[in-house]
Amino acid sequence: MRIDIVTLFPNMFSGPFDESIVRRARDNKFVEIVIHNLRDYGLGMHRVVDDYPYGGGSGMVLVPEPLFSAVEAIKGESRIPVILLTPQGRLFTQQVAEELAAYSRFILVCGHYEGVDERVREYLVTDEISIGDYVLTGGEPAAMVVCDAVVRLIPGVLGSPESVRDDSHSGGLLEYPQYTRPQIFRGWEVPPVLLSGNHAEIARWRREQAVLRTLARRPDLLEKADL
Ligand code: 6GU
């Protein structure tokens, strides 16, 4: 898989993509993540990327030309998804992550300031994604969230296929409680069923815990879950 990211702040991405599982996925060539500086496509000597909104109002708006130039240079003749990160987009969920994980290539465009010229939405991007109902200063943290959630779904990136299958949200439920050693910590014991060696009983208990936990914390998810 290849993910291209268009941003005004390329340095924000060093760190999150250079550690842990995403790092290993890049090192092992499961994914190539290429960061493009929108400023390189800015207009004129000053590499202008933003301007005042027509009609007045506060803040600046990203002008269309640099965004069109950047995305067109990246995609060439290929027809690949071009996704704008914006609080106005459709909500990012595990299902959307699975959808993106099926593509061999896509482009993430980080929105900024008060927004982007509407013609970018209409004629350049093919999709718009938001990571939640709150406002970030820019699309960069959202792009990192999307990349992380998608990269871990690429077959081979995680140790075992079970770790993806058992994730919170993968079956529409939150994950069951996990325990590891010691068997008794400060007097608090691991549920005996997990030590029983009875795999059918353990599976039943975990399923029940997942349902109870989802009911307590996220009853909205239960309505959509396939039980
Ligand atoms: Cl994708 N961008 C911004 N600026 N704020 C957000 C967001 C994206 N998703 C949630 N809030």
Q: How confident is the model at residue 159 (pLDDT cuts 50, 70, 90)?
A: confident
Can you read off the two tokens belonging to residue 132?
Answer: 């939640």
Q: How confident is the model at residue 162 (pLDDT cuts 50, 70, 90)?
A: confident
Which amino acid appears at position 5 of this protein?
Answer: I
Q: How confident is the model at residue 139 (pLDDT cuts 50, 70, 90)?
A: very high
Cβ atoms 75, 106 nearer than 8 A: no
The rounded distance, in Å, linking the Cα atoms of 43 and 110 is 18
Query: Averaged over 155-175, what is the pLDDT?
Result: 87
Domain boundaries, the chain: 2-151, 166-223
**Ligand 1 mean position to 86 CA, how many Å?**
5
DSSP summary character for residue 222: H
Q: How confident is the model at residue 57 (pLDDT cuts 50, 70, 90)?
A: very high
Alpha helix (H) residue ranges in 108-194: 118-123, 140-151, 161-165
As a whole number, the mean pLDDT across the chain is 96
210: Cα within 13 Å, side-chain hemisphere: 22
CATH number of the domain located at residue range(s) 2-151 in this protein: 3.40.1280.10
Q: Where in the sequence numbering do the catalytic residues fall? A: 87, 114, 152, 167
166-223: which CATH architecture? Orthogonal Bundle (1.10)
Q: Is 88 in the pocket of ligand 1 (CB under 6 A)?
A: no
pLDDT in tens, 84-97: 999 999 999 999 99
- pLDDT of 227 above 90: no
Query: Would you state the pLDDT for residue 112?
Result: 84
Q: Which of 133, 135, 140, 147 to mutate to test the pocket of ligand 1 (most atoms within 8 A of CB)?
A: 135
The rounded distance, in Å, linking the Cα atoms of 19 and 8 is 22
Q: Is 143 in the pocket of ligand 1 (CB under 6 A)?
A: no
Question: What percentage of the chain carries pLDDT values higher than 70?
Answer: 100
